Amino acid sequence: MKMRLFCQLPEFRSLGLAALVVSALPYAALAETPNTNPSSDTPFSSMAIARDEAEDCRVPKPPADLAETAYLRNGYRAILRILIAEEALATENCTCLLDDFTWHQALAALPRFQTSDNPRLPFKVLDLYAKADALEAQVMEACPPIQGGG
């Protein structure tokens, strides 16, 4: 008799596991989906951060194939920020000009910002960042806030 009870134990475990899975399914269907709307009154449910409207006109990270190293890509991003800010100041345009510029324009503008003949360090990224920040501050002072679109 004991042998027979012992043989049925694995079947009983499988049946218990199946019952547990089936009973948990309705709760999985009721699970809250992640929400990035910061104004909703739902509890914290996601690590996603809602994008700020001002970031819609922010120059994105350059594509990986734009340049060999992150240093160069960051420099080209700063150059593009400078070109956009200069255009906004020159035309007194208070709309987002991001869509009017391409990464190829940043590459073409390299000679203007080049400080070295070293192809791996053709410019000083920190200096480019400082110039881009200063120009963007002038744009924000001239026409706060810049509206998306454009």
Q: What is the pLDDT of residues 92-132, one digit of tens each?
A: 999 999 999 999 999 999 999 999 999 999 999 999 999 99
Helical ranges in 30-124 per DSSP H = 70-91, 103-108, 110-113
Residue 109's closest CA among 121, 122, 93, 92?
Answer: 122
- Given a cut of 50, whether residue 150 has pLDDT beyond it is no
Q: What is the pLDDT of residue 143?
A: 85
How far CA 69 is from CA of 8, 76, 113, 136, in Å, comes to: 63, 11, 17, 25
pLDDT (0 to 100) of residue 101 = 96
Amino acid at 12: F
Helices and strands in the chain, H and E counts: 5, 0
Q: pTM, whole model, 2 decimals?
A: 0.62
pLDDT in tens, 19-40: 666 666 666 555 555 555 555 5
